[in-house]
Structure 1
Amino acid sequence: MASSVAQLRAVLAQRRSDFARRDPPRVAKVVKPARVRAAPARAAVAEPASAPGGVSGVERGSGHEVHKFGGTCVGSFERISGVCDLLIESAKSGVKTFGVVSAMGVATKGEPKVTDCLINATDMAAARNPAYEEELVKLEHKHRSTAEALLTIPEELTKYMDNFMAELEDLRAMLRAMSIAGTSTQAFADFVVGHGELWTARLCAAVIRCKGFDAEWIDARDVLVVTDAEDGGVDVDYERSNANLDKLFDARGHGVAGSNRVLIATGFIARTPEGVPTTLKRNGSDYSATIFGAMLIAKTITIWTDVDGVFSADPRKVKEAVCLESLSYNEAWELSYFGANVLHPRTTLPAMRYHIPVVLRNYFNQAAPGTSICDQCEVETGGVMNPIDVNSDRVNFIKGLATIEDVTIINVEGTGMVGVPGTANAVFQTVKEAGCNVVMISQASSEHSICFAVRSHEAAAAVKALNKRFEKAIAAGRIKAVEAVDECAILAAVGQNMCQTPGVSAMLFEALANANVNVVAIAQGASEYNITCVVSKKDIAKALRAVHGRFYLSKTVMSVGIVGPGLVGKTLLRQMKEQLAALKTDYNVDLRVVAVAGQSKMLLTGESEVALDLDTWEDSYAKGQAVDMEAFIQCVTDSGAPNAVIIDCSASEDVALHYKDWLQRGINVVTPNKKANSGPLPYYKELRNIQRNSYTHYFYEGTVGAGLPIISTLNNLRDSGDRINKIEGIFSGTLSYIFNTYGADDKFSAIVKTAKELGYTEPDPRDDLSGTDVARKVVILARECGIDIELEDVPVESLVPEALRSVASAEEFMEKLPEYDDEMAAKCAEAAAAGEKLRYVGVVDVENKTGSVELRRYSGDHPFGQLSGSDNIISFETKRYVGPSTLVVRGPGAGAEVTAGGVFGDVLRVAQYLGAPS
């Protein structure tokens, strides 16, 4: 084996020698003016050294611009051509243009990525798998076809392919030696994988020359010298690297030609102090760009990618995430640490040394300005701001939000830890020795417990190590336990401008509370650049949307799902449509209807839609998909709005059984459906307990008096200390109309028929005349008064003759009802003789804890006796309102307009509780 490895090293040395002879540098001696030096800053980057021999080297700080292009930007011949055009235009504008390129990626899914092919070939060769030859064939085909499409000058094509094929043969020989040895080393792997950048840089320079502009490529291994760092990355030896750059510029005559010649360097690769090829590890090409930018003291460094810039949150999780105009280096570090698509912290260090802005831009959307990362992104606030100002449109104190999912919280707790020096050190030293990385730390000032987060796959090892380390302390009771809380996630809010600004943390946690998200742990550094909190993994998406909405939307935004697009549902949607603009303008309330579901079908927003079009929803609903309640709920919760509400405009008992699940998911519920609150008492109590013990709201004003404020009046009386003695009311608009119209000269059946024709009754009038609907309202009010009562506990005087209760159809019922007019006529005549009127009422006797529904008689001067039309009327007899001075609420109690209006009022109450102005 040793002889095989030695053979491999010999092959590598010979091939490097051949490579140096095959592509010698062009030499030109030039004299340059003195270099510009920037003021010292925080990062430890060495100043450029003078070139030996008295030559000038690079003219730094004189308008250089660095452009780095990732693999997707050079994934096809069309994209490479576009990259070259961009560099040429930059150079033609008088800018000293310096490009850094990655290995070719792909433009179409399924094509081979150059770096992947090189890695695969190395792994296969080390495993003695002859299939590594197939990877080399892919590489040859990809680069040959690309070069033939781009290099229009035959000499350029011949030169490029000659060099390429010679290097490919070098690799083939190396891989063959690896296959014989059955092994590889990191140095060999780095040497192989770096060829992708070599081929791209050389190709881009040739393409630019074919386009009639001067260009040269630079092998970064001839310039950059790096050493391994403790964190797995590399540190740059700037003194030697700057000297190498000066030598190269002097040798090639780049110093005076920078404004009319494009220079293109390889990304990702470098060399060790011993001269061994290596890579810059993670985000290596970006790091190359900022290193070269710092060495040139460039004006700007532009990182061209496939996204518009850095977003305020992951746009895949938050539809309304915005592309940030700027970030400070500190903010970029924080966001990057928590997994946001930003530069790696090490990548920004070289640029920081000379205060060079690093701009992230989208190569595929060059109209987008991108995100500039620079020293400071101050917000002019005019002094200390209050929480109202914090939410103004002109400032964003939280720049971005990022998440880390799949973390476990480990808590080390015990009274024996208090005041004991070295406990924290012992905890974290143990975790380090177990090979676990701590993501977040939180400790109470009492020192009673230390809480920290690790990645979930490291949790078991950390707990095991801590239990072993503190075995004696646990046995003695000094440490209570080492506990792990699984299925957690971290939400980080980052922004240097929230430093010393009152109210920012309060706003963040208020948003989480309103979204019904429980916070497990909190951490905030003294710098106040970052507020970090741990929540349940199942709540992380909701938490992210809630906090983002609070700081970026400047409105109370709610996604709305409606169940039951019948008469009331349609009316509510129309009322919402008419008020949406005014709500946004006057109250900062943004209602977004995202889903509508009926008995058999539903309409949901598409992936690119923020809300349904309320002008055309009915036509779309008619073509809707089969109803799937889980998909309906997911649409409401995943819509991107920080708050969600479902409105149940149906009369379905099955739908009402979903309320508990909705509330537990943090979805607010508004309904005029009486089935939940008048159904089984245990279920009603569960709903109310969820409402009381969370920030989720459950409003149901429309269940009793349509648009009348019955429940809110009752609650206001009780909350103010009044005692309810009795509630009595005419709760049915249908029965109110019937008995307000019915007189001694009328036939009861004829009045019922007229009410049915006017649309006051249900399709089957027995549903109204049975009194069940009134009984449900009695049960709801009784329960609001604290009476534990079931529907069957309420005696109901039915107005449906017993013989007609079981007839097959509504038509048959209406046909036979006249046969029973005499019974009602006798009651009406008896009341008239006493100067009274018949009224169908529901009664809640709070003192005796009972309820009833019955036909009663009232004098003409009683408020109930003076009722007309289809109005409802409810009387509250309380400790304060007694005798003839009871509190009376009267008004329309039926009809789609008033019912929908009452429901709409409840929706706006939800918005008010969520932060909208009253």
Structure 2
Amino acid sequence: MKVLKFGGTSVANAKNIELVKDIVSKSTSKTAVVVSAFGGVTDLLLEAAQLASIHQKSYKDVFLKIEERHINTIKELIPVTNQSKVLSKVKTELNILETLLEGAFFIGEITPKLSDKIVSYGELLSSYIISEYFIAQGLNTAYKDSRELIKTNANYGKAAIKNFNETNSLIKNFFNSTESKITVLGGFIASSTQGDSTTLGRGGSDYTASIIAAAIDAENLEIWTDVSGMFTANPRIVKQAKAIANISYEEAMELSHFGAKVLYPPTIQPVLAKGISIAIKNTFNPESQGTIITKNLDKNGRTVRGISHIENISLLSLEGSGMVGIPGISKRFFEVLSVAQISIVLITQASSEHSICVGISADDVTTAEAAINSEFEYEISLRKIKPVLVENDLAIIALVGDHMKNHQGLSGKMFSTLGKNNVNIRVIAQGSSERNISAVIDKCDVKKALNALHEKFFEENTKQLNLFIMGVGNVGSKLLHQIKQQKKYLKDNLKLNIRVVGISNSRTMFFDEDGISLKNWETQLASGDKADKEKFFSKVNELNYRNSIFIDNTASDVVSRTYADYLRNSISVVTCNKIACSSEYDNYSKLKYLAQKYNAPFLFETNVGAGLPIIDTLKHLIASGDKILKIQAVLSGSLNFVFNNFSSSTTFHDIVKEAQEEGYTEPDPKIDLSGIDVARKILILARESGYKLDIDEITNKPFLPKESLATTNNEDFFASLIKNEDSFQDMFNESDKKDCKLKYVAQFENGKASVGLQHIPKGHDFYNLEGSDNIVLFFTERYPNQPMIIKGAGAGADVTASGIFADIIRIGNF
């Protein structure tokens, strides 16, 4: 004989119930079918009861919804010739339900006993209607009221079996005597020894099915729901979660206890004793394998089988010097919670006996706090014990697996993963069986924590990076193209899954929590909300994704001032915007400190030399113990392009205009030609070398006329270049007479830095520097005479984008 249980979503409407009939009709064995209330009806019944108890006549509107759901379902399922009897029975029961609600309205309260009576109508009506539908479809079916078989105590709301021998005997006798192939019963409902309706707790239909399966020694128990088995994590939160094919009773019990809602925790106990397997199946995908719960004989299975969580947890902490060495404190603490019928989810106690901490449902915290403070009122008055400390808005996450015991490093891997994502752990608990490692965290961090842990333990070391990009113009668009092009390669070869979640330009911003399609991001961005830097940050922070990276492709001072907010929230920052790192030293230092404190990398390789690994090389030199003695460099690709192409046969204006059109200069080319851009770059290199320096300490020898430097817009600036062409030609001729080339050089030595135009003779490392290339010479204690040289393209959208991309990959490999 088999037992099949169908949950609320499986019987939510006529269409779904037809699917249930198809599944049941395929059973070749004698079958007990346990059903929940129609999806959502239990909540409606509770809502109606609550409204009635506070004298809200709107309970009648809710009752009408309940009535309409059942009447319409009958009309959709049952042939017209069979409807009269069914409608008559259901309307009679609905009349009784309406009377019970009226009673609650008139007395102005809802007792637990009355609540159970009212709520029981969900399963009573659904099971009767479904049994009549099966009969109308020609299935050999009988209906049985579960209250006649399952006997409990009078703990209304979450009743317990009072005498299993009696319940088992009633179930056996019934199924031995029935000749029907299929029996439909309502789950969740039972009755006390006095005959009053009781319920087994929310989710209790699973428990009903398990009790019946154990009593009749069923072949197996099938739990049919809306997902294909138990998953490695909640698939609604962790998109990469996978169904678990086989799992042990103990593992399933731990996962269900810690929030895996696919199975009600007490369900396992009755069938475990009999060794009856449980299959978790999907009503809407019956061919899917699902999950089989049985004795776990696989000694070589995955160490961690699942990750689960419970939300809405509060911590209660009792502490004080008066607890140390005093017998009975723990007993009194737990006893007072037991008397108040408060279930403890998690316990931890300091070895010094100075404190006891428990996790409970947030719904019980007010009652628990009052009860504990009352119990220890005397000790609190003497200040030997502090009033109980309450912490709210928490959640518990748990790693579960039979093979976790004695497996070295699991706890460390779990906690280091959470730490890297700045998930603060309040409390840790691990049982001696080591089948479960639990941690209490802030509720707002649950999604990030689950995804980070799932990535670590189940995704073959594939790391997901969530990108939020501000600035999608020349550089930004190239970056998006490169990400699209390399996405598959990075996933296959570097185990990096890069997902762009948010983008913004100066006009609009757009977010897609599942990842923006890089095929048509321009269209999506155009349809986005109005751009707002504060709202952009708020959205990134609200999403709270693991491995989040903010990318700044702008030249905006305002955007650079937001970096600290991102870093404080453990969001990494990658930028080609030089303003932050060349701002006042205290701000630069603060950003570096925040990056270290909150484990959020702050990378800005493209601040100097676009895609060239200049800063990265410098960091490695410093980290390995070398010391920078001198830096000489040509750091402006735009200026190198200008002076490589400027001659007596060209005009300075035309060459600068060409550099701007080629994308070598900033949008405002005066930033490049004034030397401020190069000054920022040498400042950044000096700071990364370990020197405290500010921009106003750098000697800048401008070559532009004062008139050009004083302009406030590009039109006036270019006009001034035309006007002063003779001075630019004089500059060129002077260099040409010396058989030199003009190069704009940055230098740092003995703690001092300077930038300016120089005549570079033949034979110098800078002389043959072509196009828009950059070159840096590092003179160090290890390279005192022959410097370390880094040379290559130092300007252009493509190489800048590739430098940003390289920083993103560096973060992925941290």
- The question of a shared fold, defined as TM-score above 0.5 by the shorter chain, is answered with yes
SS in 2 for 1:364: coil
**Are residues 750 and 425 of structure 1, via their aligned partners in 2, closer, same or farther at CA, if it must alter by over 3 Å?**
same
Q: Which residue of 2 aligns with 1:262?
A: 182
- Matched with 2:621 is 717
Structure 1 stretch displaced more, 531-540 or 241-250: 241-250
Q: What is the aligned residue count?
A: 813
Task: Return closer, same or farther for 1:192/1:690 CA change in 2, 3 Å cut-off.
Answer: closer
Name the residue aligned to 1:284.
204
Q: After TM superposition, give the deviation of residue 696 of structure 1 in Å.
A: 1.0
Residue 234 of structure 2 corresponds to residue 297 of structure 1: no
CA-to-partner distance for each residue in 1:62-106, whole Å, 9 max, x for gaps? Answer: xx111222344334444444433432232xxx2212112234446
How far the C-alpha of 1:508 sits from its partner, in A, is 1.5
Structure 2 residue 520 is matched with structure 1 residue 520: no
Matched AA of 1:400: I
Distance 1:475 1:130 in 2: 47
Task: Report the alpha carbon displacement of residue 293 of structure 1 after superposing the two structures with TM.
Answer: 1.1
- Aligned twin of 2:792: 891
TM-score (norm 2): 0.89
Of 521, 536, 540, the residue aligned with 2:446 is 540
- Please state if 1:235 is matched with 2:161: yes
5 Å-filtered alignment, 1:45-84, equals 64-84=1-21
**Secondary structure at the counterpart of residue 336 of structure 1:** helix
Determine which of 253, 278, 296 is the counterpart of 1:358.
Answer: 278
The alignment partner of 2:161 has SS state of: strand
Correspondence for 1:531 among 431, 437, 448:
437
575-584 or 852-861, larger mean C-alpha shift: 852-861
TM-superposed CA distance for 1:160, in Å, is 3.5
Q: Does 1:97 align with 2:31?
A: yes
Residue 787 of structure 1 corresponds to which residue in structure 2? 691
Q: Any idea what SS the aligned residue of 1:738 has?
A: helix
The 3 A distance-change label for structure 1 pair 411 and 875 is farther
Residue deviations 1:354-376 (CA, integer Å, cap 9, x gap) = 22222333333434443333332
Q: Tell me whether 1:203 sits opposite 2:203 in the alignment.
A: no
Paired residues of 1:228 and 1:235 also in contact (CA < 8 A): no
> 1:522 corresponds to which letter in structure 2?
I
The secondary structure found in structure 2 opposite 1:234 is: coil
TM superposition shift of 1:588: 0.9
Mapped to 1, the partners of 2:156 and 2:610 lie a distance apart of: 69
Instruction: Evaluate the alpha carbon distance shift between residue 188 and residue 700 of structure 1 in structure 2; reply closer, same or farther with a 3 A threshold.
Output: closer
Query: Paired residue for 2:743?
Result: 839
The answer to whether the aligner puts 1:601 opposite 2:508 as a matched pair is: yes
Alignment-mate amino acid for residue 4 of structure 2? H
Alpha-carbon separation, structure 2, partners of 1:351 and 1:701: 61
User: Displacement of 1:452 after TM fit?
Assistant: 3.5
Query: Counterpart of 1:862?
Result: 764
Residue 729 (structure 1) shift = 1.3
User: Which residue among 641, 656, 663 is the counterpart of 2:567?
Assistant: 663
Deviation readout 1:157-192 (Å, 9 max, x if unpaired): 444345445556666777888889888875565455
Shift of 1:491: 1.9
Whole-Å Cα distance in 2 between the matches of residues 517 and 100 of structure 1?
42
- Aligned pair in 2 of structure 1 residues 823, 423: CA closer, same or farther (>3 Å)? same
- What is the alpha-carbon distance in structure 2 between the residues aligned to residue 824 and residue 185 of structure 1? 94
Alpha-carbon shift at residue 733 of structure 1 (Å): 1.0
Q: Which residue number corresponds to residue 721 of structure 2?
A: 817
Change beyond 3 A, Cα 1:595–1:139: closer
Distance 1:877 1:704 in 2: 17
Q: Is 2:58 the partner of 1:152? A: no
Identity of aligned residues (%): 35
Partner AA of 1:542 in structure 2: K
Q: Matches of residues 446-525 of structure 1 in structure 2 within 5 Å?
A: 446-456=352-362, 483-525=389-431
Amino acid of the residue matched to residue 803 of structure 2? Answer: G
> How far apart, in 2, do the equivalents of 1:176 and 1:788 lie?
79
Report whether the alignment pairs 1:86 with 2:23.
Answer: yes
Matching of residues 53-452 of structure 1 within 5 Å:
64-90=1-27, 94-105=28-39, 113=41, 116-117=44-45, 120=48, 124=52, 143-152=70-79, 154=81, 156-164=82-90, 190-191=116-117, 193-228=119-154, 232-235=158-161, 237-249=163-175, 251-252=177-178, 254=179, 261-376=181-296, 378=298, 380-381=300-301, 395=302, 397-408=304-315, 410=317, 412=319, 414=321, 421-429=327-335, 437-452=343-358
Quick one: distance in 1 between partners of 2:110 and 2:519? 66
Match of 1:700 among 591, 604, 613: 604
SS in 2 for 1:404: strand
In 1, Cα distance between equivalents of 2:508 and 2:137:
59
Deviation at 1:753, TM superposition (A): 5.0
Letter in 2 for 1:221: R
Match of 2:775 in 1: 873
Closer/same/farther in 2, CA of residues 624 and 377 from structure 1, 3 Å limit: farther
User: Residues 787 and 465 of structure 1: is their aligned pair in 2 closer, same or farther, counting only changes over 3 Å?
Assistant: farther
Is the Cα contact below 8 Å between 1:103 and 1:115 reproduced in 2? no
| Deviations, residues 668-703 of structure 1 (Å, cap 9, x unaligned) | 111111011112332222211111223211111110
Distance 1:852 1:180, change over 3 A: closer
| Deviation for aligned residue 1:638 | 6.9
**Could you tell me the TM-score, scaled by structure 1's length?**
0.80
The superposition leaves residues 127-177 of structure 1 with CA deviations (integer Å, 9 ceiling, x where unpaired) of 8999988887776665555444444374x5444345445556666777888
Distance 1:333 1:600, change over 3 A: same
Q: Which amino acid aligns with 1:95?
A: S
Q: Relative to structure 1, is the Cα distance of residues 631 and 372 closer, same or farther in structure 2, using a 3 angstrom cutoff?
A: farther
Seen in structure 2, the aligned counterparts of structure 1 residues 558 and 190 have a Cα distance that, compared at 3 Å, is closer
For residue 803 of structure 2, give the secondary structure of its aligned residue in structure 1.
helix
- The SS at the match of 2:692 is coil
- The corresponding residue for 1:674 is 578
**What is the CA distance between 1:544 and its match in structure 2?**
2.1
The aligned counterpart of 1:12 is none
Q: What is the identity, as a one-letter code, of the residue corresponding to 2:616?
A: S
Give distance in 1, aligned partners of 2:119 and 2:324.
53
Aligned-pair CA distance for 1:819: 4.4
State whether residues 678 and 755 of structure 2, in contact with CA within 8 Å, keep that contact through their aligned partners in structure 1. Answer: yes
Residues 123, 247 of structure 1: alpha-carbon distance in 2 compared, 3 angstrom cutoff: farther
The residue type paired with residue 690 of structure 2 is: G
Q: 2:703 aligns with which of 799, 804, 809?
A: 799
Unmatched runs of 5 consecutive residues or more in structure 1: 1-63, 107-112, 382-394, 914-918
Distance 1:453 1:100, change over 3 A: closer
Q: How does 1:564-713 map to 2 (within 5 A)?
A: 564-605=471-512, 610-629=514-533, 632-633=536-537, 642-713=546-617
Deviations 1:720-750 (A, max 9, x none): 2222222221110121233344567876556
Q: Is residue 81–residue 207 contact of structure 1 (8 Å, CA) maintained in 2? A: no
Distance 2:399 2:506 in 1: 42
Structure 2 residue identity aligned to 1:905: A
The verdict on how the C-alpha distance between 1:541 and 1:815 changes in structure 2, with shifts beyond 3 A counting, is: same
Report the CA distance between 1:500 and its aligned residue: 2.6
Instruction: Supply the distance in 2 between the matched residues of 1:270 and 1:167 (Cα, whole angstroms).
Output: 17
Q: Determine the structure 2 residue equivalent to 1:11.
A: none
| Residues 77 and 622 (structure 1), Cα distance of their counterparts in 2 relative to 1, 3 Å cut | closer
